[in-house]
Amino acid sequence: MARKAYFGPIVDVSDDRPLCIHSGVCLRGMPDVFDVRRRPWTDPSRAGTPELADRLREVVGRCPSGALRIEEHHSHA
Ligand code: SF4
């Protein structure tokens, strides 16, 4: 199980590193959230408003390899 989860207040992001083809879509699209010089390199806590979460959904949706995936929060009410 290579997929790793990173947690944010609105959405989480999971990442399966071996799938990444290094297109840079994530790094260019949302450099605040995706920064390879930082640990953890993926930080969805930086997408803490609905607008930023939508942008994160859009950027992750453009990941060409499927390495990145949005994990929505589901209410258990
Ligand atoms: S967008 Fe996807 S394939 Fe491209 S660098 Fe990011 S994780 Fe890798």
pLDDT single digits (tens) 4-59: 999 999 999 999 999 999 999 999 999 999 999 999 999 999 999 999 999 999 99
Long-range contacts of 53-62 (CB under 8 A, 24+ apart): 53/8, 53/10, 53/11, 55/29, 55/30, 56/8, 56/11, 56/13, 56/30, 57/11, 58/29, 59/25, 59/26, 59/29, 59/30, 59/33, 59/34, 60/13, 60/26, 62/25, 62/29
- Is the CB–ligand 1 distance for residue 59 below 6 Å? no
Q: What is the CATH number of domain 4-72?
A: 3.30.70.20
Q: Which residue has the CA at smallest separation from atom 6 of ligand 1? A: 26
Residue 1: per-residue pLDDT: 64
Asked whether the predicted pLDDT for residue 75 surpasses 90, the reply is no
Domain range summary for the chain, segments of one domain joined by +? 4-72
Asked whether the predicted pLDDT for residue 77 surpasses 70, the reply is no
- Is the CB–ligand 1 distance for residue 19 below 6 Å? no
- pLDDT tens-digit profile of 49-73? 999 999 999 999 999 999 999 999 9
- The rounded Å distance from CA 51 to ligand 1 centre is 21
